[in-house]
Chain A
Amino acid sequence: MDMSQNLPEENLIRGYFLGDLAEGEQERVEERLFTDREFFETSLVIEGELVDDYALGLLPKNEREKLLRRFLRTPQQYQKVRLAKILEQYISNTQVSPAPGEGGATPQASLITRLFSRLIPWKLSEARQRRRSDIGQNEPDAWKRLLGEAQSNRNLVFSLIADDWLGLQLLLRLREDSAMTLEGLTDGVEGSDADLITALTRLIKCGLVVETQEVFSCSMLGAEMLEKIDKLSGSDLHA
Protein backbone atom coordinates (compact mmCIF):
# COMPACT_ATOMS: atom_id res chain seq x y z
CA MET A 1 0.00 0.00 0.00
CA ASP A 2 1.67 3.22 -1.09
CA MET A 3 0.09 5.73 1.18
CA SER A 4 2.11 8.67 -0.09
CA GLN A 5 -0.30 8.74 -3.03
CA ASN A 6 -3.20 8.83 -0.70
CA LEU A 7 -2.75 11.95 1.36
CA PRO A 8 -6.28 13.36 1.22
CA GLU A 9 -7.54 10.04 2.55
CA GLU A 10 -4.94 10.07 5.31
CA ASN A 11 -6.01 13.56 6.29
CA LEU A 12 -9.62 12.47 6.29
CA ILE A 13 -8.88 9.58 8.63
CA ARG A 14 -6.70 11.73 10.82
CA GLY A 15 -9.55 14.22 11.02
CA TYR A 16 -11.86 11.39 11.94
CA PHE A 17 -9.69 10.27 14.85
CA LEU A 18 -9.25 13.84 16.06
CA GLY A 19 -12.95 14.57 15.79
CA ASP A 20 -12.36 17.35 13.26
CA LEU A 21 -14.93 16.20 10.71
CA ALA A 22 -18.45 17.41 10.33
CA GLU A 23 -21.09 15.02 11.57
CA GLY A 24 -22.11 13.75 8.15
CA GLU A 25 -18.52 13.27 7.09
CA GLN A 26 -17.77 11.45 10.32
CA GLU A 27 -20.59 9.01 9.60
CA ARG A 28 -19.42 8.45 6.03
CA VAL A 29 -15.94 7.60 7.30
CA GLU A 30 -17.38 5.14 9.80
CA GLU A 31 -19.39 3.50 7.06
CA ARG A 32 -16.31 3.17 4.87
CA LEU A 33 -14.39 1.63 7.73
CA PHE A 34 -16.85 -1.23 7.64
CA THR A 35 -17.12 -1.60 3.91
CA ASP A 36 -13.72 -0.68 2.46
CA ARG A 37 -10.94 -2.99 3.57
CA GLU A 38 -8.10 -0.88 2.23
CA PHE A 39 -9.54 2.20 3.86
CA PHE A 40 -9.80 0.32 7.13
CA GLU A 41 -6.16 -0.80 6.90
CA THR A 42 -5.11 2.76 6.21
CA SER A 43 -7.06 3.83 9.28
CA LEU A 44 -5.10 1.35 11.40
CA VAL A 45 -1.86 2.91 10.24
CA ILE A 46 -3.04 6.47 10.89
CA GLU A 47 -4.41 5.52 14.25
CA GLY A 48 -1.11 3.90 15.18
CA GLU A 49 0.80 6.98 14.09
CA LEU A 50 -1.41 9.23 16.17
CA VAL A 51 -0.91 7.09 19.25
CA ASP A 52 2.85 6.96 18.62
CA ASP A 53 2.95 10.74 18.37
CA TYR A 54 0.77 11.06 21.43
CA ALA A 55 2.93 8.69 23.47
CA LEU A 56 6.10 10.47 22.44
CA GLY A 57 4.71 13.94 23.05
CA LEU A 58 5.00 14.92 19.40
CA LEU A 59 1.43 16.07 18.94
CA PRO A 60 0.59 19.78 19.24
CA LYS A 61 -1.30 20.58 22.41
CA ASN A 62 -4.65 21.10 20.71
CA GLU A 63 -4.38 17.75 18.93
CA ARG A 64 -3.38 16.00 22.13
CA GLU A 65 -6.49 17.33 23.80
CA LYS A 66 -8.65 16.34 20.87
CA LEU A 67 -7.19 12.87 20.83
CA LEU A 68 -7.74 12.47 24.54
CA ARG A 69 -11.33 13.60 24.23
CA ARG A 70 -12.13 11.72 21.10
CA PHE A 71 -10.05 8.61 21.22
CA LEU A 72 -8.11 7.80 24.31
CA ARG A 73 -11.05 8.09 26.65
CA THR A 74 -13.57 6.07 24.70
CA PRO A 75 -14.53 2.85 26.43
CA GLN A 76 -14.04 0.72 23.33
CA GLN A 77 -10.73 2.32 22.58
CA TYR A 78 -8.16 0.55 20.53
CA GLN A 79 -5.66 1.81 23.02
CA LYS A 80 -4.80 -1.49 24.64
CA VAL A 81 -4.05 -3.24 21.42
CA ARG A 82 -2.38 -0.24 19.93
CA LEU A 83 -0.07 0.41 22.85
CA ALA A 84 0.87 -3.24 22.92
CA LYS A 85 1.73 -3.10 19.25
CA ILE A 86 3.79 0.04 19.58
CA LEU A 87 5.71 -1.45 22.44
CA GLU A 88 6.28 -4.74 20.72
CA GLN A 89 7.52 -3.04 17.62
CA TYR A 90 9.96 -0.72 19.28
CA ILE A 91 11.14 -3.46 21.59
CA SER A 92 11.95 -5.65 18.62
CA ASN A 93 13.86 -2.70 17.17
CA THR A 94 15.77 -1.96 20.33
CA GLN A 95 16.43 -5.33 21.88
CA VAL A 96 20.16 -4.83 21.88
CA SER A 97 21.39 -2.10 24.18
CA PRO A 98 23.68 0.49 22.72
CA ALA A 99 27.33 -0.26 23.23
CA PRO A 100 29.33 2.01 25.52
CA GLY A 101 30.01 5.28 23.77
CA GLU A 102 27.10 4.85 21.40
CA GLY A 103 24.73 6.83 23.54
CA GLY A 104 21.83 5.48 25.53
CA ALA A 105 20.99 5.84 29.17
CA THR A 106 23.61 5.73 31.88
CA PRO A 107 23.59 2.86 34.34
CA GLN A 108 22.24 5.24 36.96
CA ALA A 109 19.34 6.36 34.81
CA SER A 110 15.86 5.54 36.02
CA LEU A 111 13.76 2.89 34.40
CA ILE A 112 11.65 5.52 32.73
CA THR A 113 14.70 7.38 31.45
CA ARG A 114 15.94 4.14 30.00
CA LEU A 115 12.60 3.56 28.37
CA PHE A 116 12.91 6.97 26.75
CA SER A 117 16.51 6.41 25.79
CA ARG A 118 15.23 3.46 23.81
CA LEU A 119 12.17 5.19 22.47
CA ILE A 120 13.54 8.47 21.27
CA PRO A 121 16.24 7.33 18.85
CA TRP A 122 13.87 4.91 17.33
CA LYS A 123 12.89 6.23 13.96
CA LEU A 124 9.18 6.60 13.80
CA SER A 125 9.16 6.59 10.05
CA GLU A 126 10.86 3.20 10.00
CA ALA A 127 8.44 1.87 12.53
CA ARG A 128 5.55 3.19 10.51
CA GLN A 129 6.91 1.65 7.38
CA ARG A 130 7.24 -1.60 9.19
CA ARG A 131 3.74 -1.38 10.55
CA ARG A 132 2.42 -0.71 7.09
CA SER A 133 4.14 -3.71 5.67
CA ASP A 134 3.16 -5.84 8.65
CA ILE A 135 -0.56 -5.29 8.38
CA GLY A 136 -2.26 -8.53 7.56
CA GLN A 137 0.85 -10.56 8.29
CA ASN A 138 0.38 -11.16 11.98
CA GLU A 139 1.89 -14.29 13.41
CA PRO A 140 -0.46 -15.43 16.17
CA ASP A 141 2.07 -17.70 17.86
CA ALA A 142 5.01 -15.35 17.52
CA TRP A 143 5.16 -14.94 21.29
CA LYS A 144 5.75 -18.67 21.68
CA ARG A 145 8.54 -18.52 19.15
CA LEU A 146 10.09 -15.68 21.13
CA LEU A 147 9.78 -17.71 24.32
CA GLY A 148 11.65 -20.56 22.64
CA GLU A 149 14.32 -18.29 21.24
CA ALA A 150 14.88 -16.59 24.59
CA GLN A 151 15.06 -19.92 26.38
CA SER A 152 17.64 -21.30 23.94
CA ASN A 153 19.73 -18.20 24.45
CA ARG A 154 19.43 -18.42 28.21
CA ASN A 155 20.43 -22.09 28.14
CA LEU A 156 23.45 -21.21 26.07
CA VAL A 157 24.54 -18.45 28.44
CA PHE A 158 23.81 -20.63 31.45
CA SER A 159 25.97 -23.45 30.05
CA LEU A 160 28.91 -21.06 30.27
CA ILE A 161 28.30 -19.49 33.65
CA ALA A 162 26.90 -22.37 35.72
CA ASP A 163 29.03 -23.79 38.53
CA ASP A 164 31.29 -20.79 38.68
CA TRP A 165 31.86 -20.56 34.91
CA LEU A 166 32.94 -24.15 34.55
CA GLY A 167 31.45 -24.38 31.05
CA LEU A 168 33.49 -21.43 29.85
CA GLN A 169 36.66 -22.93 31.28
CA LEU A 170 36.05 -26.19 29.41
CA LEU A 171 35.27 -24.38 26.20
CA LEU A 172 38.47 -22.39 26.48
CA ARG A 173 40.48 -25.58 26.85
CA LEU A 174 38.98 -26.78 23.61
CA ARG A 175 40.12 -23.63 21.90
CA GLU A 176 43.68 -24.41 22.99
CA ASP A 177 43.49 -27.96 21.77
CA SER A 178 40.98 -28.65 19.01
CA ALA A 179 40.24 -32.26 19.99
CA MET A 180 40.45 -33.68 23.49
CA THR A 181 39.37 -36.77 25.37
CA LEU A 182 37.39 -36.40 28.57
CA GLU A 183 40.48 -36.99 30.71
CA GLY A 184 42.52 -34.42 28.84
CA LEU A 185 39.74 -31.91 28.85
CA THR A 186 38.99 -32.06 32.56
CA ASP A 187 42.55 -32.50 33.74
CA GLY A 188 43.49 -29.58 35.92
CA VAL A 189 40.07 -27.95 35.79
CA GLU A 190 38.71 -27.35 39.27
CA GLY A 191 35.42 -29.10 39.97
CA SER A 192 34.04 -32.49 40.91
CA ASP A 193 33.72 -35.17 38.23
CA ALA A 194 29.95 -34.87 38.42
CA ASP A 195 30.07 -31.09 37.92
CA LEU A 196 32.50 -31.41 35.03
CA ILE A 197 30.36 -34.01 33.27
CA THR A 198 27.24 -31.91 33.82
CA ALA A 199 28.96 -28.82 32.46
CA LEU A 200 30.20 -30.69 29.42
CA THR A 201 26.77 -32.18 28.78
CA ARG A 202 25.25 -28.70 28.87
CA LEU A 203 27.80 -27.42 26.36
CA ILE A 204 27.03 -30.32 24.02
CA LYS A 205 23.27 -29.83 24.35
CA CYS A 206 23.61 -26.16 23.48
CA GLY A 207 25.77 -26.95 20.48
CA LEU A 208 28.89 -25.26 21.79
CA VAL A 209 30.85 -28.51 21.93
CA VAL A 210 30.64 -31.56 19.68
CA GLU A 211 31.55 -35.09 20.59
CA THR A 212 32.78 -37.66 18.09
CA GLN A 213 33.78 -41.06 19.38
CA GLU A 214 34.54 -39.75 22.86
CA VAL A 215 36.65 -36.92 21.51
CA PHE A 216 35.43 -33.41 22.19
CA SER A 217 35.92 -30.29 20.12
CA CYS A 218 34.67 -26.73 19.99
CA SER A 219 31.86 -26.17 17.50
CA MET A 220 31.48 -23.17 15.19
CA LEU A 221 28.91 -21.79 17.61
CA GLY A 222 31.35 -22.34 20.46
CA ALA A 223 34.03 -20.42 18.58
CA GLU A 224 31.56 -17.59 17.94
CA MET A 225 30.70 -17.40 21.60
CA LEU A 226 34.35 -17.29 22.55
CA GLU A 227 34.86 -14.42 20.14
CA LYS A 228 32.01 -12.54 21.80
CA ILE A 229 33.52 -13.19 25.19
CA ASP A 230 36.92 -11.99 24.00
CA LYS A 231 35.34 -8.79 22.77
CA LEU A 232 33.50 -8.35 26.02
CA SER A 233 36.53 -8.91 28.20
CA GLY A 234 38.74 -6.84 25.95
CA SER A 235 41.33 -9.59 25.58
CA ASP A 236 41.87 -13.07 24.18
CA LEU A 237 40.95 -15.52 26.87
CA HIS A 238 43.06 -18.61 27.24
CA ALA A 239 42.63 -21.46 29.65
Chain B
Amino acid sequence: MPFKDSLKRIKHLTEACDLSVLVWGPGEGSFEHYEKRLKIQEELRRCFQNADILFSENLNLSESLAGTDQLTIPEQELWHLAACDVCIVLDTSKGAGEEIAHFVGSHLAHKLLILTNEKYRTSTSFPSALREHHNQIFYTEIQYKSCSLVESVLTRVRTVALGKLFGMRV
Protein backbone atom coordinates (compact mmCIF):
# COMPACT_ATOMS: atom_id res chain seq x y z
CA MET B 1 0.00 0.00 0.00
CA PRO B 2 1.49 3.39 -0.92
CA PHE B 3 2.65 5.49 2.01
CA LYS B 4 0.01 8.18 1.59
CA ASP B 5 -2.77 5.61 1.51
CA SER B 6 -1.40 3.91 4.60
CA LEU B 7 -1.16 7.22 6.39
CA LYS B 8 -4.71 7.98 5.42
CA ARG B 9 -5.73 4.61 6.81
CA ILE B 10 -4.10 5.31 10.17
CA LYS B 11 -5.77 8.70 10.34
CA HIS B 12 -9.06 7.07 9.53
CA LEU B 13 -8.54 4.37 12.17
CA THR B 14 -7.74 7.04 14.73
CA GLU B 15 -10.85 9.01 13.91
CA ALA B 16 -12.97 5.86 13.85
CA CYS B 17 -11.66 4.72 17.22
CA ASP B 18 -14.22 3.40 19.65
CA LEU B 19 -13.95 6.16 22.25
CA SER B 20 -15.96 7.24 25.23
CA VAL B 21 -15.55 10.91 25.99
CA LEU B 22 -17.19 12.78 28.81
CA VAL B 23 -17.58 16.53 28.73
CA TRP B 24 -18.13 17.93 32.20
CA GLY B 25 -18.85 21.54 32.87
CA PRO B 26 -21.48 24.19 33.36
CA GLY B 27 -25.14 23.47 32.79
CA GLU B 28 -27.70 25.17 30.61
CA GLY B 29 -28.08 28.09 32.97
CA SER B 30 -24.60 29.43 32.32
CA PHE B 31 -25.26 30.42 28.73
CA GLU B 32 -21.87 31.21 27.15
CA HIS B 33 -20.02 28.44 28.94
CA TYR B 34 -22.71 25.90 28.23
CA GLU B 35 -22.55 26.93 24.58
CA LYS B 36 -18.83 26.22 24.64
CA ARG B 37 -19.46 22.84 26.17
CA LEU B 38 -21.97 22.06 23.44
CA LYS B 39 -19.49 23.27 20.85
CA ILE B 40 -16.82 20.91 22.19
CA GLN B 41 -19.30 18.05 22.06
CA GLU B 42 -20.36 18.93 18.54
CA GLU B 43 -16.80 19.17 17.21
CA LEU B 44 -15.80 15.92 18.88
CA ARG B 45 -18.82 14.19 17.37
CA ARG B 46 -17.92 15.55 13.96
CA CYS B 47 -14.31 14.33 14.15
CA PHE B 48 -14.83 10.98 15.90
CA GLN B 49 -17.77 9.26 14.28
CA ASN B 50 -17.78 6.16 16.46
CA ALA B 51 -17.27 7.89 19.76
CA ASP B 52 -19.78 8.46 22.52
CA ILE B 53 -19.44 12.10 23.48
CA LEU B 54 -21.58 12.56 26.51
CA PHE B 55 -22.46 14.94 29.28
CA SER B 56 -22.59 13.26 32.66
CA GLU B 57 -26.09 14.60 33.27
CA ASN B 58 -27.28 12.62 30.22
CA LEU B 59 -26.08 9.34 31.66
CA ASN B 60 -28.42 7.24 33.72
CA LEU B 61 -26.45 4.53 35.43
CA SER B 62 -29.43 2.93 37.12
CA GLU B 63 -30.85 1.84 33.75
CA SER B 64 -27.96 -0.58 33.36
CA LEU B 65 -26.45 -0.97 36.77
CA ALA B 66 -28.91 -2.10 39.39
CA GLY B 67 -28.69 -0.32 42.69
CA THR B 68 -26.76 2.68 41.48
CA ASP B 69 -29.66 4.95 42.26
CA GLN B 70 -28.51 4.44 45.83
CA LEU B 71 -25.18 6.05 45.07
CA THR B 72 -24.38 9.68 45.61
CA ILE B 73 -23.68 11.87 42.60
CA PRO B 74 -19.88 11.81 43.07
CA GLU B 75 -20.03 8.03 43.28
CA GLN B 76 -22.03 7.84 40.08
CA GLU B 77 -19.56 10.20 38.46
CA LEU B 78 -16.76 7.92 39.51
CA TRP B 79 -18.42 5.17 37.48
CA HIS B 80 -18.68 7.56 34.55
CA LEU B 81 -15.01 8.45 34.78
CA ALA B 82 -14.02 4.82 35.02
CA ALA B 83 -15.95 3.99 31.88
CA CYS B 84 -14.63 6.79 29.71
CA ASP B 85 -11.34 7.14 27.87
CA VAL B 86 -10.98 10.83 28.43
CA CYS B 87 -12.91 13.38 30.40
CA ILE B 88 -12.89 17.01 29.30
CA VAL B 89 -13.69 19.38 32.15
CA LEU B 90 -14.67 22.92 31.34
CA ASP B 91 -13.64 24.49 34.62
CA THR B 92 -15.69 27.65 34.43
CA SER B 93 -18.04 27.05 37.29
CA LYS B 94 -17.78 26.07 40.90
CA GLY B 95 -19.82 22.96 40.12
CA ALA B 96 -17.33 21.59 37.64
CA GLY B 97 -14.49 22.15 40.08
CA GLU B 98 -16.40 20.40 42.81
CA GLU B 99 -17.23 17.49 40.55
CA ILE B 100 -13.63 16.78 39.76
CA ALA B 101 -12.33 17.52 43.23
CA HIS B 102 -13.42 13.99 44.11
CA PHE B 103 -11.19 12.45 41.47
CA VAL B 104 -8.11 14.61 41.10
CA GLY B 105 -6.06 12.41 43.37
CA SER B 106 -7.40 9.10 42.11
CA HIS B 107 -5.96 6.49 39.79
CA LEU B 108 -8.34 7.78 37.15
CA ALA B 109 -6.96 11.33 37.19
CA HIS B 110 -4.86 10.72 34.08
CA LYS B 111 -8.07 10.68 32.06
CA LEU B 112 -8.87 14.28 32.96
CA LEU B 113 -8.26 17.26 30.76
CA ILE B 114 -9.22 20.26 32.85
CA LEU B 115 -9.58 23.53 30.96
CA THR B 116 -9.13 26.48 33.29
CA ASN B 117 -9.13 30.21 32.62
CA GLU B 118 -5.65 31.66 32.81
CA LYS B 119 -6.72 34.15 35.47
CA TYR B 120 -6.99 31.21 37.88
CA ARG B 121 -3.49 29.97 37.13
CA THR B 122 -2.31 30.73 40.66
CA SER B 123 -5.28 29.00 42.24
CA THR B 124 -4.49 25.84 44.13
CA SER B 125 -7.85 24.17 43.61
CA PHE B 126 -6.22 21.15 42.04
CA PRO B 127 -2.98 19.33 42.79
CA SER B 128 0.01 20.76 40.94
CA ALA B 129 0.74 17.30 39.52
CA LEU B 130 -2.22 17.75 37.20
CA ARG B 131 -0.64 20.86 35.68
CA GLU B 132 2.79 19.31 35.53
CA HIS B 133 1.44 16.39 33.53
CA HIS B 134 -0.83 18.53 31.34
CA ASN B 135 -4.03 17.20 32.80
CA GLN B 136 -4.91 20.79 33.57
CA ILE B 137 -4.25 23.39 30.91
CA PHE B 138 -4.98 27.10 30.91
CA TYR B 139 -6.61 29.20 28.25
CA THR B 140 -6.77 32.92 27.60
CA GLU B 141 -9.98 34.78 26.86
CA ILE B 142 -8.93 35.01 23.22
CA GLN B 143 -8.35 31.27 23.00
CA TYR B 144 -11.68 30.66 24.68
CA LYS B 145 -13.56 32.83 22.23
CA SER B 146 -11.72 31.51 19.20
CA CYS B 147 -11.55 27.91 18.02
CA SER B 148 -8.14 27.22 19.48
CA LEU B 149 -9.46 25.82 22.77
CA VAL B 150 -11.65 23.37 20.91
CA GLU B 151 -8.68 22.54 18.69
CA SER B 152 -6.61 21.71 21.80
CA VAL B 153 -9.35 19.36 22.92
CA LEU B 154 -9.47 17.67 19.52
CA THR B 155 -5.71 17.20 19.56
CA ARG B 156 -5.85 15.61 23.00
CA VAL B 157 -8.66 13.28 22.01
CA ARG B 158 -6.83 12.34 18.80
CA THR B 159 -3.76 11.52 20.88
CA VAL B 160 -5.83 9.46 23.28
CA ALA B 161 -7.45 7.63 20.38
CA LEU B 162 -4.18 6.60 18.77
CA GLY B 163 -2.72 5.76 22.17
CA LYS B 164 -5.72 3.55 22.80
CA LEU B 165 -5.19 1.80 19.46
CA PHE B 166 -1.58 1.18 20.48
CA GLY B 167 -2.78 -0.23 23.79
CA MET B 168 -1.18 2.50 25.85
CA ARG B 169 -2.39 4.17 29.00
CA VAL B 170 -2.95 7.71 27.85
**B110–A232 touching, CB < 8 Å:** no
Q: Which of A14-22, A25-33, A103-111, A195-203 contacts B (4 or more CB under 8 A)?
A: A103-111
Chain A residues 65-111 with CB under 8 Å of chain B are: 68, 72-73, 79-80, 83-84, 87-88, 90-92, 95-97, 105-108, 110-111
Given contacts A80-B75, A143-B107, A146-B169, contact A114 B83 (CB under 8 A): yes
Tell me if B83 and A150 are in contact (CB < 8 A): no
Give min CB distance, A142 to chain B, whole Å: 6
A62 adjacent to chain B (CB < 8 Å): no
- From B14, B79, B132, B133, A150 is in contact (CB under 8 Å) with B133
The CA of A154 and the CA of B168, in the complex, are separated in Å by 9
Establish whether residues B106 and A84, one from each chain, have CB atoms under 8 Å apart when the complex forms: yes
Number of interface residues of B (CB under 8 A): 59
Interchain CB contact under 8 A, B7 and A168 = yes
Q: Which of A79, A106, A115 counts the most B-chain CB atoms under 10 A from its CB?
A: A115
A233 CB contact (under 8 Å) in B10, B61, B166, B170 = B10
Residues of B within 8 A of A107 (CB): 16, 18, 50
**CB atoms of B165 and A232 under 8 A apart:** yes
Q: Are A112 and B166 in contact (CB under 8 A)?
A: no
Residues from chain B with a CB closer than 8 A to the CB of A232 are 10, 13, 165-166
**B133 near A148: Cβ-Cβ < 8 Å:** yes
* Assembled-state Cα–Cα distance A239/B3 (Å): 6
B99 within 8 A of A: no
Q: Is the interface of B mostly helix, strand, loop or mixed?
A: helix
A147 to B136, CA, bound (A): 11
CA separation between A111 and B163, bound complex, in Å? 19
Q: A157 and B162 in contact (CB under 8 A), knowing A147-B133, A233-B6?
A: yes
Q: How far is the CB of B24 from chain A (nearest CB, A)?
A: 13
Residue A158 lies at the interface, judged by CB distance under 8 Å to chain B = yes
Tell me if A's interface is mostly helix, strand, loop or mixed: helix
The complex places the Cα of A97 from the Cα of B75 at a distance, in Å, of: 24
CB-CB under 8 A for A113 and B64, given A72-B70, A147-B110: yes
Q: Number of contacts between A and B (CB, 8 Å)?
A: 157
* CB–CB A142/B107 < 8 A: yes
In contact, A172 and B70 (Cβ under 8 angstroms)? no
Q: Please state if B166 and A237 are interface contacts (CB–CB under 8 Å).
A: no
- Asked if B108 lies at the interface with its beta carbon under 8 angstroms from chain A, I say yes
- Contacting residues, chain A, for B47 (C-beta < 8 A): none
Q: Are the C-beta atoms of B59 and A157 separated by less than 8 Å?
A: no
Identify which of A79, A92, A116 contacts B71 (C-beta below 8 A).
A79
Across the interface, which residues of B come within 8 angstroms of A83, CB to CB?
A: 71, 75, 78-79
**In the complex, per-residue mask of B59-73: 1 if CB is within 8 Å of any chain A CB, else 0:** 101011111001110
Contact for A112 among B11, B64, B169, CB less than 8 A: B64
The one of B63, B74, B109, B168 in contact with A157, judged by C-beta atoms closer than 8 angstroms, is B168
Q: Is A11 an interface residue (CB 8 A)?
A: no
A39 on the interface (CB 8 Å rule)?
no
B122 to chain A, nearest CB (A): 21
A87-B108, A154-B163, A233-B1 as given contacts; A144 in contact with B16, CB under 8 Å: no
Interface pairs A-B: 3 shortest CB-CB: A107-B50, A150-B110, A115-B83
